[in-house]
Structure 1
């Protein structure tokens, strides 16, 4: 077993724990992202509204990937599912 395989094996429980926490607390995290985005948008007087909105959307997509809620048919680990026969 190589060093990278050993490292992945040791991190697997942590990855599962983070996924479970992200799934369980997703509404709170979404609310926090929205609240932070609104505050920053107010402080910048709307100057960066599009960038803030884009960043918030990307953060929510990342949260969904971490929580394994994506509908793409893969686990979000960078691999794609095999083609349908």
Structure 2
């Protein structure tokens, strides 16, 4: 895997180990995008933030 993939895996592992801190980062990023776009993409940022949180909150199982 390339450097970017390795960094992404490390970030995921870190987020799983510190979910509260990861939540703060996701929330800050979502807020920043919403502020800079005037909430034009609010629904999309909400969806992306939820997906990010699921990626480190879930125990690796998928619901169907």
So what's the TM-score if we normalise by structure 1?
A: 0.52
CA–CA separation in structure 2 for the residues paired with 1:77 and 1:50:
25
Alpha-carbon shift at residue 63 of structure 1 (Å): 1.0
Alpha-carbon shift at residue 53 of structure 1 (Å): 0.4
Once superposed, what is the RMSD of the aligned Cα atoms?
1.9
Q: Which of the pair is proportionally richer in helix?
A: 2
Alpha-carbon shift at residue 77 of structure 1 (Å): 5.6
Alpha-carbon shift at residue 64 of structure 1 (Å): 1.1
Segments of 4+ moved more than 6 angstroms: none
Gaps of 5+ in 1: 1-13, 69-75, 79-85
Number of aligned residue pairs: 51
Structure possessing the higher relative contact order (Cα contacts under 8 Å, 6 or more residues apart): 2
After superposition, residues 47-62 of structure 1 pair within 5 angstroms as: 47-62=40-55
